[in-house]
Amino acid sequence: MGINFSNGTTLSTGSTGKILQVVHGHKSDRQTFSTSSGTFSDVSGMSATITPSSTSNKIIIMFNINTGGQSGQRITYRLQRNGNSIARGDSSGSSQRGCFSSIVTSGNSQSEHQSYVFRDSPSSTSALTYKIQFESEGGTHIINNTKDNSGYSNYHVGSSNIMLMEEQG
């Protein structure tokens, strides 16, 4: 069974790919990090737990995070499932391994928005907790706010989110 288009294409409407459940976490508070290179810290509020109904199902993880920090400092974000890092880049010398990294290009009065999506194959029907961790090469970084938050009306205060979706396999 499927949907037929006039150009001859058929879109399958089978049982795979359906979203079975959605879990969401939201962080609206400010969190300050003063980390040194190599030390990952949990971003509070940026975790969510989901229990797949079948070992063949996939988990789609989407998150967005707002970060203010010291201009020119590199940040690495890490995604974990039940305490184990997933979706990391391959090892390359002593470089930090995460799901992505960024460099703060704005000044102290701005924050930057980062987004990430990953499709995980956990092969599990147990509860899975996904969380976001943060590491920088130094300096002070703030989640959901600017580094220099002086309360001015034109400064940004944001929020961050994590969403888990179980996809039928």
Q: What is the pLDDT of residues 56-71, one digit of tens each?
A: 999 999 999 887 776 6
Looking at domain 36-148+156-167, its CATH class is mainly beta
Whole-angstrom distance, CA of residue 121 vs CA of residue 142: 32
Q: What is the pLDDT of residues 17-29, one digit of tens each?
A: 899 999 999 988 8
Could you tell me the pTM of the whole model?
0.79
Over range 110-124, report the average pLDDT: 86
On whether the CB atoms of residues 85 and 92 are closer than 8 A, the answer is no
Instruction: List the beta bridge partners of residue 127.
Output: none
Whole-angstrom distance, CA of residue 74 vs CA of residue 65: 15
Task: Quickly state the pLDDT bin for 52 (edges 50, 70, 90).
Answer: very high
Compare 153 and 128 and report the one with higher pLDDT: 128
Compare 103 and 140 and report the one with higher pLDDT: 140
Q: Classify residue 145 by its DSSP letter.
A: B
- In this structure, the chain runs to a length of 169
Check residue 125 and give its pLDDT. Answer: 98
Check residue 18 and give its pLDDT. Answer: 92
Instruction: Write down the mean pLDDT value for the chain.
Output: 80
